[in-house]
Each structure stands twice: as C-alpha cells, then as structure tokens.
Chains A and B, each alone.
Chain A
Amino acid sequence: MKPAPFEMHLPTSVSEVVALLDEHGDLAKPIAGGQSLVPMMSLRLASFEHLIDLNGVSELNQVSVSGDSLRIGAMVRQSTAEHDPQIVKSAPLVAKAIPHIGHFQIRNRGTVGGSIAHADPSSELPAVALALDATIEAVGPNGSREIAAKDFFLSTWETSLIDGEILTGVRFPIWSGKCGFVVEEVARRHGDFALVGVAAAVQVDGSKVTKAAIALFGVGGTPVRASEAEQALIAGGISADLDAVGKLAAMNLAPSDDVHASGEYRKSVAATIVARAIAKALKEAQS
C-alpha cells in the first residue's frame, strides 16, 4: 500500500508546469488534490517517475465572473466551490453537486479541475459540466485552447486533453431568470460513488420551460446528455409528463453490469431519478 518511488516537482506557475510536463513526457503526471491519484498510486494501479504538484500554482485558484459565465480555476477546492457565495449564486448546479462527492475531508483537498480532468464516469462534476455546456480551458506545449464539455469526455478516465496539457479552469454559463437546479443520485452509502445520478437544470417562463439541461452519470464510460428528454420537457412545459421524460432519458442508455448493480437496474433507476430531479427543479424554478 505504498506508492512506487518518484520525484516530486513543486512549480509555482502554469508555465513552469507546462515546461516540466514537456521535459518529462509520459513519465510525468500532474497531481491536484490527490484524492483519486494517490489511492491509485498506493494501490499500485498507477506509477509515475515524476509528479508535478499543482498545489503551489496560485494562479489556478481564482474564481471570477465575466459576462454571462463563471470561471472556476482548476485548483479551487471542492469545499470552496460548495460554499463560495459567488459560485452558489452563479452556478448553483456546481455547488449542489459537490456535497455528493465523498466526505467533507475529501472535498477539502479535492479540486474542481481534478474531478473534471479525472473524468470518472460516476463523478458528479463532469456531468454538471456537460449539462451546462461548460467550456474547459487548457494550456499545453502549443499554448492555450478551449474545449467544449461535449468534446471533452472520451471514455472512462480519458479526456481530450493531449500529452503535456493541463486543465487550467472551467467556465460555466450563468443561467438567468426563474431556474431550478437539482442533482439526484443513488449510491450504496452516502459518500460512495453513485450507481446512477443526474444533474438537471430548468428555466421557466410562466407555463413554458424555456431551457432544459439533463446529464446522467454512472451509466457508461462518460456522462451522457439526455437531449431527447430535454426537448420533450421544453415541448411539454411545466405540466409535461415527467415519467415519459424520465423514460426518454434512459431509453438509449446501455449501462454495464458490475458487482454493485446490473445494467438493467441502473437504467430503470435512471428513468426514475430523472423524473424526480425534473419535478424538484420545476418546483424550485416556480417558487
């Protein structure tokens, strides 16, 4: 239960991080909160010759609002994002997803960027990023670029970040008007990874649903956007048949079986919790 030997590098700027990653190539890995990486190293599921510590890079800790989006720096701790008044106000779905991550001691160290870059299919924040059409900012050997969340998650633990690139921040669109935001999940115990979960947002105007965003997690290699269910909800308005919306969201899923639950069970739970999440979100939007 001890990690294999490696050398730790302690840079203080993004440019230093990028230079170190460039120098050490495949032998190097960035470490953020370490809440996923260190267990994998201790269990000897992963080993690296060089770790590049992002904890000393203060430029990755910023939270800011510009125009109609909220930007959260990669190294903002999950516990900060859970309680920060600006995040709670501008991106409520992010703040509401975070209490579902592990325990408060894990969230004190785990980061927003780390959770998204790690791209665990059962994780909450990747689904939130996908639901809200977030933009992922990356910096690497070829400079900086932006990646739409829908193009970011490729499969389990795999993203479209290229070698030597790090995630520097995530921009979440700010929804205005009367909105509701809900994260629902089913897990064996509180703090465990979810068997199935959903992140949902709605915007209403009178009896109309003017915007809907639904993303499921724990149902495949990546979070999955339920576009048809969103369309049905917008078409049906606040009195849409939510059971039908839930079934539409689950229709094309093919979650696999594992020791925790069968794929069929996950699919059936997905339909139920989508309906439940939308009902809560609509209620919140109208209150």
Chain B
Amino acid sequence: MSRNITLNINGAQHTVDVEDRMLLSDAIREKAGLTGTHVACEHGVCGACTILLDGEAVRSCLMFTVQAAGHEITTVEGIAPAPGELSVVQRAMQDNHGLQCGFCTPGIVTSLTAYLRDFPNASDDELKEALSGNLCRCTGYMGIVNAARQAQKEIQGSAK
C-alpha cells in the first residue's frame, strides 16, 4: 500500500508518495533528498539516524513515514541558525575535533541539541550517558564529550 502525504521538514513542506512500510529515515534521504540524516544499523542502536520529531530526539529508522505526517521534523540540515552559520553544538563539535569521518555526527548534533535544551544543567556523568546512544567508530569519544561540555557551558552562559 502506498499513499501521498506531506512531511514538514525543517519548516518546508515535502509532498511525497511513500509505501506504508517506508522507514522515515529512508523518506528523509530518498524522497526529500536530505542526506544529512545517516543510516547504519537500522535497528535503533547506532544513533546515526536521530532526528527531532516535534523537538524530541528520536530514531528515524524506528518510525514509518506515514506516522510523521502532521509532525514537525528537524534534521541536521535544520539545526544551524542560518546558512553559512553554525549552531552552538555544531561549533563546539568543530572546535573540539568531535568528528573525523562525520558519519555519526548528524545524530550527535541533533541529540545533543535537544538534550542540552532540556537539561542544560546535566552533570558530567549525565552528559556522557546522554551521548551513550550514539556510536562513533572514529573519535574515541573524547572530542565529542569535550564538545558537549563546551556547548553546555555556552548554553548555561547565555541563559544567565
């Protein structure tokens, strides 16, 4: 069975024809052409496909596209404040060598953006635990943890 639905991704409407069984991750990449959302394990473990659904970080490989109609989707392409600029989290990743090949990065940026918005005062252990849902095969994680710490400090500073 397939149907025609409208997805709201990063504020733009994408009207797409999808099979009911199409995973949201596949529709984002193949139908909307937004290939920033990466796909690896396709069973919820690696975190590469994490997007924001109505602002909450979720695995796009564990949802069907038809379930996302009527919701606001934000992908990594929608995180920066303006073209050519970086968000606080993105800049922190760059400053701290939080990425090498970059495959895991979109999922980390979306996850951290939502997490630090909700828990700006998380402890260092909580921050590491929050990062545990994203696998990275390159960095050894220290760069990512340091990026999370820098972003957290900046977010705390701007809230004062």
Contact = CB atoms under 8 A, between A and B. Distances in A.
Interface stretch (B9-17, B55-63, B140-148): B55-63
Contacts of B57: 104-105, 108
Interface of A: 1-8, 10, 33-35, 38-39, 42-43, 51, 53, 55, 79, 99, 102-106, 108-109, 189-191
Given A34-B63, A109-B63, A104 B115 contact: yes
B132 interface: yes
A236 B44 CA distance: 45
Contacts of B67: 8, 10, 34, 53, 55
A105 B59 contact: yes
Nearest to B39: A1
A109 B62 contact: yes
Given A99-B129, A105-B59, 10 more contacts: A2-B26, A3-B21, A6-B20, A33-B62, A34-B64, A35-B44, A103-B130, A105-B47, A105-B111, A108-B56
Given A7-B1, A109-B62, A103 B132 contact: yes
A42 B133 contact: no
B133 A103 contact: yes
B50 interface: yes
Contact of A38 (B63, B129, B130): B63
Interface residues of B, number: 28
Contacts of A10: 66-67
Contacts of B117: none
Contact of B20 (A8, A38, A39, A79): A8
Interface string B79-109: 0000000000000000000000000000000
B67 to A, nearest CB: 6
B19 interface: yes
Contacts of A38: 23, 43-44, 61-64
Nearest to B111: A105
A169 B69 CA distance: 26
Contact of A42 (B56, B61, B130): B61
Contacts of B132: 103, 189-191
Contacts of B1: 5-8
A99 B61 CA distance: 22
Given A105-B111, A108-B57, A109-B63, A43 B20 contact: no
B58 A105 contact: yes
B63 A4 contact: no
Given A105-B50, A105-B133, A191-B133, A39 B19 contact: no
Contacts of B72: none
Contacts of B62: 33-35, 38-39, 109
